[in-house]
Amino acid sequence: MPVLLGDTNTAVASNSKNVKEHWNNWPNEKGFDPKYEQLTPVELRVTGQIPAYAAGVLYRTGPGRSQLQTDHGNLFQLSHWFDGFTQTHRFQIIAPDDAESPWVGTRVFYNSRFSSDQLMKNVQKAGTRDFSRSFGQKRDPCKALYSKAQSEFVPSKGPSSTNVGVTLSVNMPGLDFDDDDDGKLPDRWTGSNSIRNLYAKTDYNEFKQLDPETLEPIAQASQRNFHPELAGPLVASHPRSDPVTGDVFNFNLEIGATSTYRVFQVSASTGKTKILARFSAIPVYIHSLLLTEDFVILCLWNSHLDPLKVADGVFKESIMPTDPSKPATWYVIDRKNDKGLIATYETPAFFCFHTINAWQEPSKEDPSKIDIVADLVRTDSVAIIDLLGYEFIKSSLPKAKEYMANRGVDLNSTITRFHLPNIPQETTLEPKKASVEWSACKEMAPELPTMNPSFGTRKHQYVYATASRGEATLTDGLMKLNCDTQDTQLWSRHAHTPGEPIFVADPNGTSEDDGVLLSVVLDGVQGTSYLLCLDARDMKELGQAHVNGVVGFGFHGQHVPTTGLPTGDY
C-alpha cells in the first residue's frame, strides 16, 4: 500500500480511490502555454532547506508555448504536447559560504529562454507552421493546399528555427573534441568550469547546442558529426552513458525498403565513434535503450513504423497500432569484444517510452553463464501517444473532461522487470525467450523514471517517477518504488503538478537512496511554479525555491554538481 505525504508531510495510509474523493480538477492551461521567460538570472525566494551538496546547475527542457497569436489575426494552436515550442530552464544552486552550516543560506538563481524563438516568429508571420516535420500536428487540408497563397512563410535556417528539446546532454563527447589535445580531452570535471557544452536532443537526428549560461541556441549538429554512416532520421532521445568511462551509446535508424539499425559508441576520452553492430529489422519508434557492463540492449517494442508515412511530415501518423500477435524483440550487442550482435530475445508485445536500468548477473540456470535483467516502464500499447495530445491533457477542453470522467485511475503503465537468460558468448541466430519477473505500481501509472545514476549498469533497489493516479490530466504526484519489496511511497499536494524527479546523491551517504530529488512543480492554486526538494529516503519535503512565473510542463533535465560528474544520460 502506498504512503501518501500530504500538505503537512504527515504520512497517512491511503489509496488512490480515497484520495480522488478529495481532489478537484483544476484548469492547467498555464503549464501548457507559459509566457514567462527570464533571460537574465534572478534570485528565487527559498523556503525550507536545500542541502549544500545539491549545489550546481539543474537544467530542464521541454514544451513551452502551445499556441500563438499570428499576424493574420488567427490563433495558431499545436495539437500534440511533443510539438510544443521548446523552452529551456536553468536553476543555479549555490551552497552557503559557511561550511559549518551546510543547510543555512543555500541560494537559487533562475533563468530561462524560448529556444525556438525564430520558429515561433515564422509561425506568427505565416499564420501556420511548416509541416515538413512534426510529431503529431493535425493539418487542415485546405490550409495545407493553399498555404503558399495564404502566407509569406519562408523557413529560416539556424538553431532557433528548429524545435529540439526533449532531453539534454552536458559535455557530449564527439562534439567537443579538440585536435590540439593530442588525442585526449582536457579534464572536463573541475569546479565551475565543468560545463564545456550543452546540447538539446530529440528522437530525430538533430542536436541543438545551447549556451550553458544564457541558454541561447548557438549551433546545430547531428549524429553525422560522429560518423558519416549515422545519417538515418531516427535516434533515441535517451542515449546511455557508461558511469565509469563516460562513453555514450545510441543507435541510428535508416528507413527504406530494408531498414538498418546502427548501434554505436562515442568515446569520452578520444571523441571517436565506433559502430558496434549493423542489422536489418522492422523500423520502430524507440525513445530509449539499455546498457550493461558488457552489452547494449535495443528493444524493438511494438511501435512499428510504416516506412511510407515516416517522411510525410506528421510522425505520429506513421506509428502503427500495437499488434498483440507480434512479439517485442530484444537485440543484445557486445560492446567490449567486437562481436557485434550476439543474440535476440522475444517477449509478448508491449510499448515503452522510458527504460530505467539493466545489469548482468550469474544465470539462474547455470551460474557459469550470464543473465541480463532490465527494468523499464511498460504500457500495453501505443495508445498513450494519442492521449498526450493537448485535447486530452488541457483540463478545460471537452475531450479532456470526458477522458478524465471515464479513464479510471490508471494509464495502464507499470514498472516491469524483464529477464534475458543465458547470454551466449558467440552470435546465436535463433531468437531466445525472455520473461517478465514482475510488474508493479499499476495504480500509480508511473512515468519519467529516474534513479541514483551511480547505479547505472548495476543492480539497483530504488526507482523514482511521476505518478498519474487519475487525479489530474497529466501527473499528480511523485513516487518511490522499492524494487526488492514492491513497497511504494508517494508525495502529492492538492492541485500541484510535478515534473520528472532528478536524483542528486549525498556524497557522504551510505545507502543508495541517500540524497534528494529535485522536481519543478506548478502550483495550480497560486498559478506559479517552484523547484521542489524532497528527501529521497522518505519522500518528505525539505524546501522550495519559488519562481515568479510559470515553468511549463516539461520532459527531462540534468543536474550538474559544482564538483564531480553530471548525472549522465540515465
The span from the CA of 141 to the CA of 135, in Å, is 17
Residue 94: all three cell numbers together:
549555490
The H or E element containing residue 126 is: helix 117-126
Identity at 237, one-letter amino acid code: S
80 assigned to a ligand binding site:
no
Three-class SS of 28-65: CHHHHCCCCCCCCCEECEEEECCCHHHCEEEEEEEEEE
354 assigned to a ligand binding site:
yes
DSSP per-residue letters across 311-362: TTSBGGGGBPPP-TTSPEEEEEEESSSS--EEEEEEES--B-S-EEEEEEEE
227 assigned to a ligand binding site:
no
22 assigned to a ligand binding site:
no
* 295 bridge partner residues: 334
Instruction: Give CA separation, 457 vs 60, 199, 390, 467, 509, in Å.
Output: 24, 24, 36, 25, 20
The answer to whether the beta carbons of residues 204 and 132 sit under 8 Å apart is: no
Phi/psi for 318 (5° steps) reads: -90, -10
Cell 588525442 appears where? Answer: 183
Query: E strands of 6-140, at which residues?
Result: 11-13, 42-43, 45-48, 56-65, 67-69, 75-77, 85-94, 107-114
The residue among 212, 232, 213, 210 whose CA lies nearest residue 222 is 232
Please state the residue numbers annotated as binding site for Fe cation.
Answer: 238, 287, 354, 556
